[in-house]
Amino acid sequence: MPFKNRSEAGQKLARALSNYKDQHPVILALPRGGVPVAAKVAAALNAPLDLILVRKIGVPFQPELAMGAVVDGGAPIIVRNEDVIQSAGIDETQFKAVCDGELAEIERRRQRYLGGRERVNVTGRTAIVIDDGIATGATMRAALRATRMRNPKKLVLAVPVAPSESSVAMGEEADEVICLEDHEFFGAIGFYYRDFRQISDEEVIETLKRFLPKPKEREAQPPAA
């Protein structure tokens, strides 16, 4: 297996991203599994760490199969996997019901992980989006589109492992894709880690505490009405 655990994967990814240190990037992690990977990168690059709250929209009778993904925001971004929707026979009512449930989970995570913490400002900076791997790509595609809307100077996707097809496809969304391991016959992300245990909410919260944004790094808030 290429990686002992997510921390080791993050260390290897940090070395691959070392050229970005002088560009003062922003590191954006997909919770929960992407956080320990991204933390190692943020520490190595001396960069702020923030979250992208995105959830897979799973087929009701096969939740691990993504028929789309949704990203938090004033107007949530929804990415649909039409091939899966059609092959699974999912109608709009079913899709919306699952999507609404995932939006509720995003809100729960926002309150638990971030509370009143302000987002790190991405505008005009290099944004590096990180997860512990890519499977179908629906979740990451949504995360990249949402980040693009925040007007980064450059958008980089960095992951330890992904299917070859997904890695190539992500090049349509990111300005650069850095993937340490890509495989034509992929299986599941966990196959590439010796330790792929679930990351707890508490671990995410404690990690974020080590990367509190400085005042100049915080995203400007709109004036009160």
SS3 136: coil
Hunting for tokens 């699952």 — which residue is that?
Answer: 98
Strand-by-strand arrangement of the 176-183 sheet: 49-51, 26-29, 126-130, 154-163, 176-183
How many domains does the chain divide into?
2
Question: 30 and 130: one domain?
Answer: yes
Sorted by sequence, the CB contacts under 8 Å of residue 75 that are 6+ apart come out as none
**Residue 84: domain span:** 57-113
Q: Are residues 32 and 62 in the same domain?
A: no
- CA 67/CA 80 separation, integer angstroms: 6
Nearest to 31 by CA among 105, 100, 101, 104: 105
Are residue 137 and residue 190 in the same domain, yes or no?
yes
Per-residue model confidence as pLDDT tens for the chain (225 residues) = 799 999 999 999 999 999 999 999 999 999 999 999 999 999 999 999 999 999 989 999 998 888 998 997 667 888 888 999 999 999 999 999 999 999 999 988 888 998 888 889 999 999 999 999 998 788 899 899 989 989 999 999 999 999 999 999 999 999 999 999 999 889 889 999 999 999 999 999 999 999 987 766 666 554 343
Same-domain check for residues 203 and 144 = yes
Quick check: is 216 in a domain? no
